[in-house]
Amino acid sequence: MPKFDTERRVAHSAEAMFDLVADVSKYPEFVPLCEALIVRGRQSSGTRDVLIADMTVAYKIVRETFTTKVVLDRDAGTIRAEYLDGPFKHLDNLWTFTPDGASRCRVHFSIDYEFRSRALSMLMGSVFDKAFRKFAEAFEKRADIVYGKPAPPA
């Protein structure tokens, strides 16, 4: 069962990074392998939103779509994607945003997944592993574009 876990200190606030990751409809613009993302439903309750989303990932001739329930919990500073349907046996993805000073935060990203098909696992496993290693960096670069590149420390 492949797992990936990383933490990065970024020069943007926890709130800004939460908003960036929560804006799932923009993922096809910058997330590795993400060809399309459609939000099928959204329910809000205070500072907590629950989305049902279909994400299509593509690499060369392989194209797979899977459905997740995404829980955006602003108070907890977490975003969790739980697998509902598609080519996986399971998939669990968690983002945690922890303030680290006035305009910095620590972003923790973890994903645990297993393909349903051994053939798909052999075909896509190493590609997914490489893509997940670039996820946190892709979001950090996107934050610099959306919010502006922070000034270097004095």
Average pLDDT for the chain: 89
DSSP 36-94: EEEEEEEEEETTEEEEEEEEEEEETTEEEEEEEEEEEETTTTEEEEEEEESSEEEEEEE
Q: What are the pLDDT digits (tens) for 96-154?
A: 999 998 789 999 999 998 888 787 777 666 677 777 778 878 998 999 999 988 766 65
> What domain count does the chain have?
1
Whichever domain contains 91, its CATH number is: 3.30.530.20
- Could you tell me if 123 and 98 are in contact, meaning their C-beta atoms sit under 8 angstroms apart? no
Domain range holding 43? 3-147
pTM assigned to the model: 0.89
d(CA 32, CA 30): 6
In percent, the amount of the chain with pLDDT more than 70 equals: 93
Residue 77 in domain: yes
Residue 104 in domain: yes
Lowest average pLDDT, out of 12-21, 83-92, 119-128, 143-152, goes to 119-128
CA atoms within 13 Å, Cβ hemisphere of 126:
2
